[in-house]
């Protein structure tokens, strides 16, 4: 299975890449004795001199640069982080062909998120959602009070892998 890099909004990441200059070397046997070497940068018409001498050497160096796009592949920890993001943003059973992908965090959405018991439940729900991705993960759910005029209850979820914070998610 190949995973592609996805932005936090769920879009495929396309990196802009400039095509490198190409060098084409062509050799041919001529009817006349001699050496005929031509160097051409990719996608240009070769220069044809009028003089038909036995030794020919031509170089073309001008090239129009192209911009191409390639999808960025993710590997190792980046792949796990992406899978964690998808698992936490998807409700369990939401994907018809992959009913075991996702979390059940929606079950606690309307509870008092600052209650210690509910924080433990959140940690358990996250652990359940990512068990096949990071079975040894350490998960900490911490309340975060919103600053400003409006009251908000946010919970920051910190996911550690081998003692290193690899992902931060909030609900």
pTM, whole model, 2 decimals? 0.57
Range 52-58, long-range pairs (CB < 8 A, 24+ positions): 54/30
pLDDT at 42: 57
Question: How many alpha carbons lie under 13 Å from residue 95 in its C-beta half-sphere?
Answer: 13
| H runs (alpha helix) in the chain | 76-89, 116-129
pLDDT at 91: 92
Q: Report the C-alpha gap between 165 and 162 in whole angstroms.
A: 8
Residue 118 phi/psi, 5-degree rounding, is -70, -35
Positive/negative CA dihedral, 78, 81, 82, 83:
positive
pLDDT at 1: 44
Q: Report the C-alpha gap between 159 and 171 in whole angstroms.
A: 14
pLDDT at 30: 59
pLDDT at 130: 95
Element of type H or E holding 145 = strand 138-145
Is the CB of residue 71 less than 8 Å from the CB of residue 5?
yes
Residues (pLDDT < 50) of the chain are 1
The hierarchical CATH code for the domain 74-170 is 3.10.450.40
Q: Report the C-alpha gap between 118 and 130 in whole angstroms.
A: 18
Domain boundary assignment for the chain? 20-64, 74-170
pLDDT at 160: 96
pLDDT tens string 78-122? 888 888 999 999 999 888 888 888 999 999 888 888 889 999 999
pLDDT at 100: 87
pLDDT at 158: 96
């Amino acid at each position: 299975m190949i995973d592609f890099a996805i932005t936090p909004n769920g879009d495929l990441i396309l990196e802009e890449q400039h095509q490198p200059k190409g060098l084409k070397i062509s050799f041919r046997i001529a009817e006349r004795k001699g050496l005929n070497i031509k160097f051409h940068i990719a996608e240009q018409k070769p220069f044809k001199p009028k003089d038909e001498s036995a030794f020919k050497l031509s170089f073309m160096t001008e090239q129009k640069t192209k911009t191409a796009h390639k999808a960025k592949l993710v590997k190792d920890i980046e792949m796990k982080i992406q899978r964690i993001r998808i698992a936490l943003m998807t409700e369990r059973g939401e994907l018809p062909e992959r009913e075991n992908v996702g979390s059940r965090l929606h079950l606690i959405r309307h509870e008092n998120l600052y209650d210690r018991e509910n924080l433990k439940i959140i940690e358990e729900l996250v652990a359940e959602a990512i068990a096949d991705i990071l079975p040894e993960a350490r998960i900490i759910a911490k309340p975060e009070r919103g600053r400003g005029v409006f009251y908000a209850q946010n919970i920051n979820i910190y996911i550690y892998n081998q003692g290193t914070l690899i992902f931060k998610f909030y609900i």
